[in-house]
């Protein structure tokens, strides 16, 4: 019989797999679009696990590609709830990769994503509140709110004549 997970265990999801040749771009590295798809998938899994609902992506912010991922690398994507609103979940995704024979994975990418939980009619629904407890969780929550404020300010700068 399975016992339910407690909320702190439900706040994080990790995917691990080998980068396959189908994900390679013309330069011989994992295509950025493939990586973004993996990021969206792990973040969705985290949001759905936390909320117990179907969730939709609202935004991806501050994505940074630090180093390439090579075919055959072991890839680890870690998605963590770092803050919640009434219906939204702010999720930090970090990506690490490396040769599985070396036993060391280095950070390649990270970003913040926002998801909203929705009902069967695609209307937003409430999500459980996340309360950061550790110093790392508190720092990530502040970072998420700072990025949100910066993105909100950028939206205000967008010229009216630019297509929405």
What domains sit in the chain, N to C, each tagged with a CATH number?
6-159 (3.10.129.10)
| Confidence at residue 108, expressed as pLDDT on a 0 to 100 scale | 97
pLDDT at 27: 87
Pairing of strands 54-65, 106-118: antiparallel
* This prediction's pTM: 0.88
In Å, how far from its chain's centre is CA 43?
4
CB 107 within 8 A of CB 35: no
pLDDT score for 18: 96
Per-residue pLDDT of the chain (164 residues; tens, 9 = 90+): 455 555 457 899 999 999 999 998 888 899 999 999 999 999 999 999 999 999 999 999 889 899 999 999 999 999 999 999 999 999 999 999 999 999 899 999 999 999 999 999 999 999 999 999 999 999 999 999 998 888 888 888 878 777 65
Q: What is the DSSP string of 18-64?
A: EPPGGGB-TTSBB-HHHHHHHHHHHHHHHHHHHHSSEEEEEEEEEEE
- The answer to whether 42 and 68 have CB atoms below 8 angstroms apart is no
């Amino acid at each position: 019989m399975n016992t339910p997970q407690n909320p702190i265990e439900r706040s994080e999801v990790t995917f691990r797999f080998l980068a396959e040749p189908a994900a390679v771009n013309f330069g011989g590295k994992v295509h950025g679009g493939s990586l973004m798809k993996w990021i969206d998938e792990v973040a969705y899994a985290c949001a759905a696990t936390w909320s117990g609902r179907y969730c939709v992506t609202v935004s991806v912010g501050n994505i940074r590609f630090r180093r390439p991922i090579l075919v055959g690398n072991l890839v680890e994507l870690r998605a963590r709830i770092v803050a919640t609103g009434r219906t939204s979940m702010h999720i930090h995704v970090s990506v690490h990769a490396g040769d599985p024979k070396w036993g060391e994975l280095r950070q390649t990418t990270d970003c913040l994503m926002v998801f909203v939980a929705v009902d069967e009619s695609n209307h937003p629904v409430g999500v459980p509140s996340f309360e950061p407890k550790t110093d790392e969780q508190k720092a990530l929550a502040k970072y998420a709110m700072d990025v949100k404020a910066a993105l909100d300010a950028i939206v205000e700068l967008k010229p009216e004549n630019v297509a929405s």
